[in-house]
Amino acid sequence: MTEAGYDVFVSYASADEAFAERVARAVEADRSGPPLRAFYAPWVIGPGADIAASLESGLQRSRFVALVISPEALGSPWVRQERFTAIWRDPAASRASLIPLLRRDSEVPDLLGRLRHIDFRADSDFAAGMAELIAAVRGRPVRRDGEMAPADFDLRDAAALLRRQRIVFERPAFQMPCVWELRLSELIAAIDDTMAALNTGALYSRSGNLLSRFNPRSSYRLKRFREAFGRVVVSLGKLKRMVVDFGESYEDANPRYRRSEDFYAMLTALVSVPAPNAAVIADAVDRMDAIDSARNDILREVNRLLRSIGDPELDLIGLSSDAIRSTTSGFDAEVVAALERPDRQ
């Protein structure tokens, strides 16, 4: 990449925006060589910027143009201009700097038809297509007869397994702050279920029904995937200890509490006593935030892998303290006041 330039300019129509962003993320997530930089318009062109000038500058400073091919793209004036600029820059295609990415079947103009495209029509081919695009950008030889290197097969298989495993993290235990009526026992059980699913390849519901089956984490052949899920399992163990510690410390401080064990009820019980202790309330919220943050660290680990295969990331969990401070949360003033004490600023 040239100084302050880009390796890949992603040209696309608005109908293909989600796919274009997926390509751009996968380009920048590649770690098979020096970091790559993608020009993806929403990342680069800020509010008030001259769109035409920004696109022209991006094209001039990009080594390759990845042109997303679809009926909408071929009918787009913006994409047409970007296409013509790329062709004019390399009319004989001697540098192969314009790389068509076939997203949907289209009537391809002759000037584009002469160029070999990468087939992205099936979502299942995304990893293989990205491997081919990255090879072109990094100047690696193109394999004959569509042959894939072992590393390419490993990435394709890792991507397929990760897409099946993500269901493990698309559950309430990894989606809501502690304070929104999440129960301690259910969170602990969900952590156990998650570790078991990653280790055995089977995810079960609370009632014992099989929800999903996939290969266990040990089947990853790519080292970075194996190591990442190794860290996830270790983090899950630490997370479980944090939840157990929360329950034990709460019980020690409130030995007479015998009601619901969900975080919300436990917090409101601290306020309902005759003389609420602000320090105790704040400590309980801090512990909830720590549990929320620990779950987010696990999600970030998985998101790094999702970015590397160009897939959408998992949403992070909001902190319990932020939920409490929300004007619509309905929490007692004593809880909010405990979080706003001067000694906590």
Q: Are residues 128 and 173 in the same domain?
A: no
**Residue 110 shares a structural domain with residue 205:** no
Q: What is the distance between the alpha carbons of residues 138 and 53, in angstroms, rounded to a whole number? A: 27
Residue 164 falls inside a structural domain: no
In a domain, 131, yes or no: yes
Whole-number pLDDT of residue 264: 82
Per-residue pLDDT tens over the stretch 47-101 = 888 988 888 888 888 889 999 999 988 888 878 777 666 666 555 444 568 898 9
| 20 and 99 in a common domain | yes
Can you tell me which residue has the tokens 């990342």? Answer: 43
Residue 242: domain span: 169-344
- Do 244 and 326 fall into the same domain? yes
Q: Bigger pLDDT: 87 or 196?
A: 196
Question: Count of H helices and E strands in the chain?
Answer: 14, 7
**Domain count within the chain:** 2
Q: Virtual CA dihedral for 81, 86, 89, 92, nearest 10 degrees?
A: -120
Same domain, 187 and 106: no
The maximal CA–CA distance of the chain, rounded, in angstroms, is: 83
Q: Are both 225 and 328 inside the same structural domain?
A: yes
Average pLDDT, the chain: 83
Count the Cβ atoms, other than its own, within 10 Å of residue 277.
14
Same domain, 130 and 73: yes
Residue identified by tokens 């301690």 is 184
Are both 173 and 230 inside the same structural domain? yes
Same domain (yes/no): 244, 137: no
For residues 136 and 177, membership in a common domain is answered with: no
The answer on 230 and 143 residing in a single domain is: no
| Chain segment 246-295, per-residue pLDDT in tens | 988 888 877 777 666 788 888 888 877 777 777 888 888 889 999 999 99
